[in-house]
């Protein structure tokens, strides 16, 4: 079969017109569209005064679509616009999407309705005597996810495929990935809430763990390996247990260097953060449809996976706790002579003398070099006891 008698050329799938050239068909469709436009139809492709939609206007190609008014990409100039000329209009469209997510739904950064940081693992869930489900408006995902992409398409008078094409032209992301990216802002408060609960479970309030470091009598004449200084004899009971199956004893904290302490406590906090953690449920309360979309949004916006973000925040929490504990140790070490004060002085600077200004502990360093960070961490995690 040659091209002269092919179905594509003949147009057999066009009802009522057998063996019609494609050019004639295109001209006929354009003429029919022009006649319908002259007779009058609404801006959304609906014929005025009727319940019938004009064919071909549902994809946002008509001249007065809202997305065209926002971007300035109209039919008269669309073919002549360069990529550089289209970019400012696409930027206004993305900004409108960001503002449109919050329109009538509160804070979209947390999914649109409510604060994700207020949900705790101990919240009452479904019970045997409770009513499951209820109305659609009360469902967790419906109440948290906010406006959908389809709702934005209806307001912009454009199809989802066309809107995705526009957002990909601007930033390389589909419209759903763009909407999920705007919700990442709310993850910060939710993660801080989880980290605060895990840190308090491990070490109490900031600074309170300092008492553990000086609650037992230190072996002042031994080194970190348990040997008496200046001799080769091991002091009984001083060797540390380097194993995750044994809890550290109070005297072990005296011989742990600061780098090892940071690494150990970061690992402990990360493990505690992941214990009994329901990613899918937490993702819904954060405004995402599932955990996969939450992880993808973290990579798109922050350039890191969710676990990498948790480790980075855990390091900051541990740093603040160490600063707070140094401050508490210094306050106790500056007190009047007593057994408790002597142990605090040894834990603070391995000396029996009280500390004197200028202080070189972590809290003093943060006050001089990172005061803004210290104030933000104090507001997020609590004041030093």
Closest CA to 249 of 204, 207, 222, 218: 218
Instruction: Give the CA dihedral 159, 161, 164, 168, nearest 10 degrees.
Output: -140
Report the distance separating Cα 69 and Cα 23, nearest Å.
Answer: 31
Whether omega before 24 lies within 30 degrees of 0, making that bond cis, reads no
| CA distance linking residue 63 with residue 71, whole number of Å | 12
Position 74 scores a pLDDT of 83
Instruction: Determine, yes or no, domain membership for 360.
Output: yes
Does residue 285 sit in the same domain as residue 349? yes
Q: What angle is formed at CA 257 by the lines to CA 252 and CA 259, rounded to 5 degrees? A: 130
pLDDT, position 75: 76
CB proximity list for 107: less than 8 A, separation 6 or greater: 115, 186
256 and 168 part of one domain = no
CA 137 to chain centre: 25
By the 8 A CB rule, do 87 and 65 touch? Answer: no
Q: Extract the tokens encoding 57.
A: 């206007």
Burial class, 247, CB count within 10 angstroms (exposed 0-12 / middle 13-18 / buried 19+): exposed
In this structure, are 333 and 284 located in the same domain? yes
Q: What is the DSSP letter of 227?
A: B
Task: Please give the tally of structural domains in the chain.
Answer: 2
pLDDT at residue number 366: 92
This prediction has a pTM of 0.70
**194 and 294 both lie in a single domain:** yes
pLDDT score, position 173: 93
Residues 167 and 195 in one domain: no
pLDDT at 35: 66
Contact 273, 261 (CB under 8 A): no
CA distances to 35, 147, 153, 236, 328 from 58, rounded to whole Å, are 17, 21, 11, 83, 67
Residues spanned by the domain of 97 = 56-119+138-172
Whether 277 maps to a domain, the answer reads yes
Q: Do residues 360 and 212 share a domain?
A: yes
User: Tokens representing 162?
Assistant: 């066309």
The 10s digit of each residue's pLDDT in 240-261 is 444 554 566 656 666 678 888 8
> pLDDT tens for residues 267-322?
999 999 998 889 998 999 888 989 999 999 999 999 999 999 999 999 999 999 99
| Helix 306-333 with 258-274: angle, nearest 10 deg | 130
Considering the domain architecture, whether residues 149 and 251 belong to the same structural domain is answered as no
Would you say 274 and 261 are in contact if contact means Cβ atoms under 8 Å apart?
no
**What is the H or E stretch that residue 353 is in?**
none
pLDDT at position 40: 53
Compute CA distances 149 → 138, 274, 283, whole Å. 20, 31, 18
CA pair distance 206, 322, nearest whole angstrom:
8
pLDDT for 292: 93
Q: For the stretch 318-351, what's the b/e string if a residue is b when 16 or more beta carbons lie within 10 angstroms of its beta carbon?
A: bbbbbbbbbbbbbbbbeeeeeeebbbbbbbbbee
User: Do 67 and 203 fall into the same domain?
Assistant: no
Chunked in runs of 10, what are the mean pLDDT values of the chain (385 residues)?
Answer: 48 49 62 62 44 44 82 84 92 93 61 47 61 78 86 91 94 94 90 92 89 61 48 43 55 74 92 90 90 94 93 94 91 84 82 85 91 92 77
Q: Do residues 380 and 197 lie in contact, with contact meaning Cβ atoms separated by under 8 Å?
A: no
Q: What is the pLDDT of residue 237?
A: 42
Q: Is 236 a domain residue?
A: yes
Same domain, 87 and 204: no
Q: Which residues pair with 307 in a beta bridge?
A: none
- Identify whether residues 214 and 322 lie together within a single domain: yes
Composition of the chain by helix, strand, coil, percent to 5: 60, 0, 40
In a domain, 85, yes or no: yes
**How high is the pLDDT of residue 36?**
64
Q: Look at residue 37 and tell me if it is in a domain.
A: no
Contacts (Cβ under 8 Å, ≥6 apart) of 266: 311, 314, 315, 318
Note whether residue 27 is domain-resident: no
Residue 119 CA from chain centroid, whole number: 15
Examine residue 33 and state whether it is found in any structural domain, yes or no: no
- Same domain (yes/no): 270, 147: no
Q: What is the pLDDT of residue 121?
A: 45
Q: Is residue 344 part of a domain?
A: yes
Q: Does 198 lie in the same domain as 73? A: no
């Amino acid at each position: 079969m040659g091209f002269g008698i092919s179905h594509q050329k003949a147009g057999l799938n066009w009802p009522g017109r057998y063996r019609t050239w494609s050019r004639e068909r295109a001209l006929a469709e354009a003429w029919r569209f022009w006649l319908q436009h002259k007779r009058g139809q609404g801006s959304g492709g609906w014929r005025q005064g009727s319940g019938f939609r004009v064919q071909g206007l549902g994809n946002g190609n008509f001249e007065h679509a809202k997305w065209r008014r926002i971007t300035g990409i109209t039919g008269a100039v669309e073919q002549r616009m360069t990529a550089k000329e289209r970019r400012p209009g696409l930027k206004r469209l993305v900004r409108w999407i960001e503002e449109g997510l919050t329109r009538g739904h509160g804070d979209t950064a947390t999914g649109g309705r409510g604060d994700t940081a207020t949900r705790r693992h101990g919240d009452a869930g479904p019970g045997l005597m409770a009513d499951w489900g209820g109305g659609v408006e009360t469902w967790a995902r419906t109440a948290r996810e906010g406006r959908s992409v389809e709702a934005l398409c209806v307001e912009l008078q454009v199809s989802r495929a066309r809107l995705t094409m526009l957002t990909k032209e601007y930033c390389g992301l589909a419209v759903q990935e763009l909407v999920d990216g705007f919700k990442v802002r709310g993850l910060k408060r939710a993660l801080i809430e989880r980290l605060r609960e895990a840190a308090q479970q491990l070490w109490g309030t900031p600074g309170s763990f300092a008492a553990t470091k000086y609650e037992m009598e230190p072996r002042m004449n031994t080194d970190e390996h348990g040997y008496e200084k200046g001799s080769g004899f091991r002091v009984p009971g001083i060797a540390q247990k380097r194993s995750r199956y044994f809890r550290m004893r109070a005297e072990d904290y005296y011989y742990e260097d600061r780098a090892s302490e940071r690494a150990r406590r970061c690992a402990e906090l990360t493990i505690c953060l992941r214990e009994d953690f329901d990613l899918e449920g937490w993702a819904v309360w954060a405004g995402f449809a599932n955990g996969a979309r939450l992880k993808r949004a973290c990579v798109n916006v922050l350039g890191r996976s969710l676990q990498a973000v948790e480790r980075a925040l855990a390091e900051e929490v541990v740093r603040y706790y160490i600063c707070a504990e140094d401050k508490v140790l210094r306050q106790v070490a500056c007190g009047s002579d007593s057994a408790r004060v002597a142990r605090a002085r040894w834990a603070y600077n391995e000396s029996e003398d009280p500390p004197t200004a200028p202080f070189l502990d972590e809290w003093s360093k943060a006050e001089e070099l990172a005061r803004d960070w210290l104030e933000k961490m104090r507001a997020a995690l609590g004041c030093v006891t």
